[in-house]
Copies of this chain bind each other. A is one copy, B any other.
């Protein structure tokens, strides 16, 4: 009860559902019941579930529903939740803190039992707020190292390191890294995992999230104009990879002959590229399943603090392996 103090059932629900009558005088009880009959009052789903303290609904906030990672994980979370009898309502923060706050309020007012959230930048206070009010929630994909809370993510550092190691093992000598200029910890872990292996030799392009095509083009053009031009590029997200492949195509740069490519996440675009694209494969189904399971555990035991870290797989294909 305590962690749900914001969700105080209303008097009329108390009365009509014959609970806690001791707290309300018999006279008021009788009169409310009569008034309810007069008004043809129908206790609705929310009133009933407030009694039961459960709406069997999960609020999911993804970072950008138009991003294949978000839409795939939404689909998986929905499937997993359904198996447990839960419905999912979702919203997309569009990577904006203000929108995340709005969606959290919206879903709180709609009495979700808990949240699964991919937090965008600068939303630490919102995560803290959810902790304070005691609503169960699980961070997915993104996490704040300074905030202890339930979290399901991949090992971003080693995921990136595995991509760089793969390129080095396949004879690449000068590797460019394309990542976002961001405060998002998981993406900076990917950058760190890549740079730690390369040291001063790494060429790094940091892309503004609202100027992807332009900045990716500039970064790659810069990589190719170096005294020792890059012979490989590692992209730390799927959208960066797609933007990079389009720009390499526009320059008529041959993959993997001139430049090897390793991307992140799966998309059909990687399969259909003339040199099928190597990528860091996230365990999408496990991510979604673990997030739902952890949330359900937290709903049952609000004291739980658990962090689940999953490993990735490097899928090596033609874009990074010289066939000749």
Which A residues have a C-beta under 8 Å from some C-beta of B?
6, 8, 10-13, 23-25, 27-28, 31-32, 35-36, 38-42, 44-47, 57, 64-68, 70-72, 74-75, 78-79, 82, 87-92, 94, 99, 102-103, 105-107, 109-110, 242, 245-246, 249, 267-269, 271-274
Which residues on the B side are within 8 Å of A45 (C-beta)? Answer: 105, 109
In the complex, what's the smallest C-beta–C-beta distance from A80 to chain B, in angstroms? 13
Report whether B87 and A91 are in contact in the complex, using a CB–CB cutoff of 8 Å. yes
**Contact of A94 (CB < 8 Å), options: B13, B78, B94:** B78
Knowing A28-B32, A40-B8, A272-B273, say if A65 contacts B57 (CB, 8 Å): no
**Interface SS of chain A: helix, strand, loop or mixed?**
helix
Report whether A39 and B8 are in contact in the complex, using a CB–CB cutoff of 8 Å. yes
Q: What are 21 A-B pairs with beta-carbon distances under 8 A?
A: A11-B32, A11-B39, A23-B39, A28-B31, A45-B109, A46-B109, A57-B106, A64-B75, A65-B75, A65-B90, A67-B71, A68-B68, A75-B94, A78-B91, A87-B91, A87-B102, A89-B89, A89-B90, A90-B91, A268-B269, A272-B273
Which residues on the B side are within 8 Å of A32 (C-beta)? Answer: 11-12, 28, 32
Supplied contacts A28-B28, A89-B90, 7 more A-B pairs, CB within 8 Å:
A6-B42, A8-B42, A10-B47, A65-B65, A87-B106, A88-B91, A273-B273
Report whether B271 and A274 are in contact in the complex, using a CB–CB cutoff of 8 Å. no
Knowing A94-B78, A269-B269, A273-B272, say if A35 contacts B11 (CB, 8 Å): yes
